[in-house]
Structure 1
Amino acid sequence: MIINTDEIKNIYVSSHYVDMRKSIDGLTQIVNLQFQMNVLDHSLFIFTNKARNRIKILYYESNGFWLFIKRLEHGRFKIEEHDDSNTRKITSTQLNWLLEGLEFEEKFKEKQLLI
Structure 2
Amino acid sequence: MFSPKQNLKIHIALGSTDMRKSIDGLSILVSEKFNLDPFSGHLFVFCNRKQTILKILYWDRNGFCLWHKRLEKDRFQWPRSKDAVMTIGAHELAWLIDGLSIHQKKAYKPLRFTSVF
CA–CA distance in structure 2, aligned partners of residues 8 and 64 of structure 1: 19
Provide closer, same or farther for how the CA distance between residues 7 and 42 of structure 1 changes in structure 2, counting only shifts above 3 A. Answer: farther
Letter in structure 2 aligned against 1:87: V
Equivalent in 75, 83, 98 of residue 96 of structure 2: 98
Instruction: Provide, for residues 53-75 of structure 1, a one-character-per-residue CA deviation record: whole Å limited to 9, x for no partner.
Output: 00100010100000011001111
Give the TM-score, by structure 2 length: 0.86
Q: CA deviation at 1:111?
A: 3.9
RMSD: 2.1
Instruction: Please report how far the alpha carbon of residue 16 of structure 1 lies from its aligned counterpart in structure 2 after TM superposition.
Output: 1.5
Point out the structure with the larger helix share: 1
Residue aligning to 1:49? 48
Question: What is the aligned length?
Answer: 111
Following superposition, the deviation at residue 8 of structure 1 comes to 5.8
In the alignment, residue 68 of structure 2 is paired with which amino acid?
I
User: Structure 2: which 5+ residue stretches go unaligned?
Assistant: 110-117
Whether the 8 Å contact between 1:8 and 1:42 is mirrored in structure 2 is no
- In the alignment, the residues of structure 2 paired with residue 12 and residue 50 of structure 1 have an alpha-carbon distance, to the nearest angstrom, of 18
Matched residue, 2:67: 68
Off by >3 Å, runs of 4+ in structure 1: 5-8, 108-112
- Determine what percentage of the aligned residue pairs are the same residue: 34
The C-alpha deviation readout for 1:9-47, integer Å capped at 9, x for no partner, is 200111111100000000001000000010111100000
Cα offset, 1:82, TM superposition: 1.6
CA offset at residue 102 of structure 1? 0.8
Which of 1 and 2 has greater Rg? 2
